[in-house]
Amino acid sequence: MNFKFSESEEAFREELKSWLNTELAARPGSDSNPDSEWAFNLEMRRKLAEKGWLTMAWPEEYGGQSASHMMQVIFAEEMSYNNAPGRDVFGTKMMAPTLMIHGTEDQKQQFLPPVSRGDVQWCQGYSEPESGSDLASLQTRAIEDGDDFVVNGTKVWTSGAHRADHIMVLTRTDPDAPKHRGISFLLCDMNTPGITVNPIINMAGDHSFNMVTFEDVRIPKKNLVGEQNRGWYVGATLLDFERSGVDYSAGAKRTLEELVEFAKTNSKNGVLLANDPVTRNRLSDLAIEVEVSKLISYNIAWMQGQGLVPNKEASMGKVLGTELQQHVSETGMHMLGMHGQLEPGSKHAPLEGKVEHMYLTDVSQTIQAGTSEIQRNIIATRGLGLPRG
């Protein structure tokens, strides 16, 4: 791959940076309620959609600009670096590219344009109370009844379900088949009768996760993506797209830069942090990790631009990116000392409590979307050709 961006790509990066600086100036403060933050998120999404930036690498017939995947990765990188709201990663990054591979033309025409216009929010119904890393053991059932599937079961850790308009659901349609076989991939309207969403508050006090219960929920058979009982392979394609991305390194880079500036003006045990050899070494190592994670993500985007679906590469990016985020927040907590435990909103919290919040939320990064152990198994078997244990 070419490690340099073209002039047009660099020009787009500068345009995006300038636009974000202007738009984010109107962002609600940290003490805003979740509804105000969500309203601003939707406003940003509408503006991004009007510019065509949400889905610029998509084919034009589905609402894209047929731009290069590298343009799309620049967009994702700058959005993550600036912690800018407005994207529906479940729709743009996960559902849509999966549908372009496995969906029918009618499904693409129905579900893709609303995502490109920023009209809808998607969520992902994969994990269950008894099925996490061993996702193929899921027990949510879908039984055929006329033109519908009738779905019963429970999904858990469903991010954004309380805001979502649609959900992607993995269900078991053949209970007698081997566990990786009798699974189907369905698209469902969240307003369908029988769906209940209950919040799960994480230890940082955020409401992102939810439990979603399906009770005799009717999903039209036309919303089946791919072959019936072969949905595991559709779901695995989506996971490869979910695990890909430059968001990990971009967000970590921004926090790392803030920690470097903090080190230049703050002392610990009478020594300026910037002069402390342990701190300097940690920050240097993190700068290297950020760069490696970023280049892996660039390579993944290049592969997607060649029409490839990254598999082991996506797992490499996910392992390194999520562990990088944990390394940044752990280093930050060491640097900030006792005051680093103060939550956002405290007037004494260094860096406005960002590192404390990051430290708590990053615990789940190496678990969600497939644990680091799962990713390393994929790298070992599909990347290095090692035998299964």
pLDDT digits (tens, 9 = 90+) for 135-150: 999 999 999 999 999 9
Long-range pairs for 63-68 at CB < 8 Å and ≥24 separation? 63/112, 63/113, 63/115, 63/116, 63/117, 64/116, 68/9, 68/305
In sequence order, what are the beta bridge partners of 128?
131
Report, as an integer, the average pLDDT of 32-38. Answer: 81
Whether 227 sits among the annotated catalytic residues: the reply is no
CATH 2.30.22.10 given to domain 123-230: no
Which SS3 state, helix, strand or coil, does residue 157 take? Answer: coil
* CATH 1.20.140.10 segments of the chain: 244-383
**388 pLDDT higher than 90:** no
CATH 1.20.140.10 matches 244-383: yes
Report, as an integer, the average pLDDT of 310-330: 94
Rounded to an integer, the average pLDDT of 194-198 is: 98
**CA 321 to each of CA 97, 247, 347: distance values in angstroms, whole numbers, following the listed order:** 21, 8, 31
Q: What share of the chain is helix, strand, coil (3-state, %, to 5)?
A: 55, 15, 30
pLDDT at 29: 75
Q: What is the pTM of this model?
A: 0.90
Examine the pLDDT at 2 and tell me if it is beyond 80.
no
The arithmetic mean of pLDDT across residues 35-63, rounded, is 94
**What is the DSSP-derived secondary structure letter of residue 28?**
P
Q: Give the N- to C-terminal CA distance of the chain in Å, as an integer.
A: 34
pLDDT reported for residue 379: 94
What distance in Å separates the CA atoms of residue 335 and residue 351, rounded to the nearest whole number? 12
The CB-based long-range contact list for 96-102 (8 Å cut-off, 24+ gap) reads 96/55, 96/58, 96/62, 97/241, 97/304, 98/225, 98/234, 98/237, 98/238, 98/241, 99/225, 100/58, 100/59, 100/62, 101/237, 101/309, 102/185, 102/225, 102/226, 102/234, 102/237
Q: Tell me if 20 sits within 8 A of 78, measured CB to CB.
A: yes
- pLDDT digits 0-9 by tens, 74-96: 999 999 999 999 999 999 999 99
CB 158 within 8 A of CB 182: no
Q: What is the mean pLDDT of the chain?
A: 93
Query: Class assignment of domain 7-87?
Result: mainly alpha
Which of these ranges, 79-93, 111-125, 314-328, 365-379, has the smallest mean pLDDT? 365-379
pLDDT score of 32:
62
Supply φ then ψ for residue 173, to 5 degrees.
Answer: -105, -10
Q: Kindly name the residue from 242, 289, 313, 323 that is annotated as catalytic.
A: 242
CATH 1.10.540.10 domain extents, the chain: 7-87
Pairing between β-strand 271-272 and β-strand 141-145 as defined by DSSP bridges: unpaired
Question: According to CATH, where is 2.40.110.10 located in the chain?
Answer: 123-230
What's the mean pLDDT in 43-58? 95
For residues 334 and 353, what is the distance between their CA atoms, to the nearest angstrom? 14
- Which amino acid belongs to residue 69? H
